[in-house]
Amino acid sequence: MKRIIVLSLCSLLLAVHSPAREKKLIGLEDMFLFKNITQAQFSPDGQRIAFVVSENDFIENRIDTDIWLAYTDGRPAVKLAVSLKSDTQPRWSPDGKKLAFLSSRDGSMQIYLMDMQKGGEAWKLSDHQPGIQTFKWAPAGKTIYFLAKAPKAKKKKKSDPDVKVIDASFDYTQLWSITLKDKSIKQLTHGNINIDNFDISPDGRTIAFGARPTPKVPDFFNSDLYILKLDAKKPQPKKLVERPGIDTDPHFSPDGRTLVFSSTDGVKEWIHNRNLYRISVNGGQSKNLTSRFDEHAAFVDWSPDGKYVYFYATEGVARHLYRVPANGGKAKKITGGRSVHGAFDVSPDGRTLVFMREDAEHPDELFVSRVSKYAPKPVSAVNAIAEEYHIADSEIISWKGADGWTIEGILTKPVDYQPGQRYPLILLIHGGPAGVFVNAFTASAGRPVQWLVAKGYAVLMPNPRGSGGYGEKFRKANLRDWGGKDYQDIMGGVDFVIQRGIADAERMGVMGWSYGGFMTSWIITQTDRFKAARVGAGVTNLYSFYGQTDIPDFMEFYFASLPWTDAEVFKKHSAMYFIDRVKTPTLILHGEKDLRVPLAQGRELYTALKEMGVPVEFVVYPRQGHGVREPRLMRDVAKRTVEWFDRWILGRQEAGAE
């Protein structure tokens, strides 16, 4: 005992006389240490929360997901299961004795069960190929329903050609059931419908689901609502809501009599507000519950008494949780202060909320709060490592854009910022164009802001017209005008930061992905103010893009026409038709398997710049779609991007300079 006391006193004296540990600056490798939190769910007794933590695994070159357990009584959160493969979608059994989850530990995603009373290893319940997408427990806890595609039929002959006829055949996602007792699997739906989501009535006798005619992305805007009576002699789905646009994501009320679902109310537009509607399970007229809320409302939960519906939405640069009366009316904001960004759930007694909370300076952590009085309390510390780093502050700024509209953005200044000193500026443009920069943590491959500011850059992330979070009118303000007033809004933000004496107008770079890549390619055809550019998966030629992308309807909506009937508007807003103006050194990054913005879009830009003698590099990432998902390749994206800016803005030629 004395020895322990002596050691403790020595440690105390050392701490008193030692200088405070200096915090580190975030570098390339550090950005990939931070973890993400998703998919939180309360246990039936409300005392535990199962949630998912994602982190980068550079050895296996994949994003690893694990299931963790948090406690509302203040005990530290712990990792629930150790697996070399991904575990995800934790779902408590109705009695709380078991936890089901999806795991790829045996190859494809299958359902596993874990005894939450006795502990021990999880055991495999399903063996359905090609794998399970999502699932839910039946209220009695004896059956699990899931969504999956049908097993692929074997080829009749080895000599059969391996060909695919576009839009001639599809692999549909259908509804299935599996019993815990004997693991028997039954297919419940058939035919040409692709089911996206479903819910089970409290009595377990009815399933409601949202489905579309094909798995194609544009057909999500042709989705309808269905009801399936499980106790019928021959259960057959019947349409509950059938109209143009989106009708999907149904959720039964606590008494099972009504459903709340997401809908565009017969409007077939890509960026029309998605409201929450209520309808009787027997059909009839539906009612818009969130008509007075001018943004997308995403369902979270019913209150246990059925009086309220919880949803979350983006409001400017923040996301918050709201509550609306089940009969409609004015929505009330439940959360406040720092943004809440996901992993939402309401405890079974309706008294407590759980959510993931973050901002530009603080990475993901899980929090709980009483519904009656918002007072967030952390219940996880998966990103405690953030305390070791000097993380720069971010500021919400606003300026006047085109037509005098107020435009918001997020400005992050260099770590060593000194008022009166000008710094090189990186303009970062979001995708969408109906995406939005919210006040979220800024250290990732797609958003390497904290690394950039540690190196002495300032970073501006604007939300020009067309962005989400500011209402439907704002979101539609760039129709038939990509590169027009949205471009002016963005450049107004750049000028504002220069006028404030923060940015050095002679040392600026611009970057973006998807629509952000479009805008970056457009900017370099309109001005040579930027010393370097990075175009990520950018749309560079709207005319050819229409015939290449898997979402041609998207362009038809935004430009209210077709390339062959209104060629000039597609050309007028395409970088490729002004490409002879470009002088800016440009880095082009693209996924090899990108269906959303196909590789040909990046190649068009590269070929033209190469021919004109503009400094250009074209990097193609194998196996990647519209976003880069493999950690090693994600690291390469960040590294190449920052090195490109260092080279052309700061004049640093050495590779890997930090």
Position of tokens 């930061």?
497
- Beta bridge pairs of residue 288: 277
Cα(333)–Cα(492) distance, integer angstroms: 32
Q: What is the pLDDT of residue 575?
A: 97
Cβ atoms < 10 Å from Cβ of 594:
24
Angle, helix 515-526 to helix 485-499, in steps of 10 degrees: 70
Say if residues 411 and 399 touch (Cβ distance below 8 Å): no
CA dist list (Å): 81 to 40, 116, 249, 391: 16, 11, 30, 32
pTM of the model: 0.92
Cα(476)–Cα(353) distance, integer angstroms: 33
* pLDDT tens per residue across span 552-607: 999 999 999 999 999 999 999 999 999 999 999 999 999 999 999 999 999 999 99
CB under 8 Å to 320, separation ≥6 — which residues?
312, 313, 333, 334, 335, 336, 339, 340
- Show the tokens assigned to 556: 């038809």
- Beta bridge pairs of residue 324: 309
Nearest partner of 175 among 218, 248, 226, 124, judged by Cα: 226
Cα(373)–Cα(297) distance, integer angstroms: 22
CA dist list (Å): 579 to 70, 116, 159, 582: 54, 62, 48, 6
Q: What is the pLDDT of residue 160?
A: 67
What is the amino acid identity at position 633? L
Cα(359)–Cα(338) distance, integer angstroms: 6
The SS3 call for residue 308 is: strand
Positions of the chain with pLDDT under 50: 1-20, 655-658
How would DSSP label each residue in 10-51?
HHHHHHHHSPPPPPEEP-TGGGGG--EEEEEEE-TTSSEEEE
Cβ atoms < 10 Å from Cβ of 27:
14
CB under 8 Å to 219, separation ≥6 — which residues?
194, 212, 213
- Show the tokens assigned to 64: 């690893």
β-strands 586-591, 532-536 pairing: parallel
The Cβ-side half-sphere exposure at 283, using a 13 Å CA radius, reads 9
What secondary structure, in 3-state letters, does 281-304 show? Answer: CCCCCCEECCCCCCCCCEEEEECC
The DSSP symbol for 250 reads: E
Reported as type and span, the H/E element at residue 493 is helix 485-499
Cα(552)–Cα(267) distance, integer angstroms: 18
The Cβ-side half-sphere exposure at 310, using a 13 Å CA radius, reads 22
Cα(125)–Cα(146) distance, integer angstroms: 12
Cα(116)–Cα(371) distance, integer angstroms: 27
Q: Sign of the C-alpha dihedral, residues 425, 431, 436, 440?
A: negative
61: left (phi over 0), alpha (psi -120 to 50) or beta: left
Show the CA angle centred on residue 290, arms to residues 288 and 292, nearest 5°: 110
Enumerate the H helices of 613-653 as residue ranges.
631-645
Nearest partner of 380 among 410, 361, 356, judged by Cα: 356
How far from chain centre, in Å, is Cα 490?
A: 23
The SS3 call for residue 546 is: helix
Reported as type and span, the H/E element at residue 516 is helix 515-526
The torsion angles phi and psi of 237, rounded to 5 degrees, stand at: -65, 140
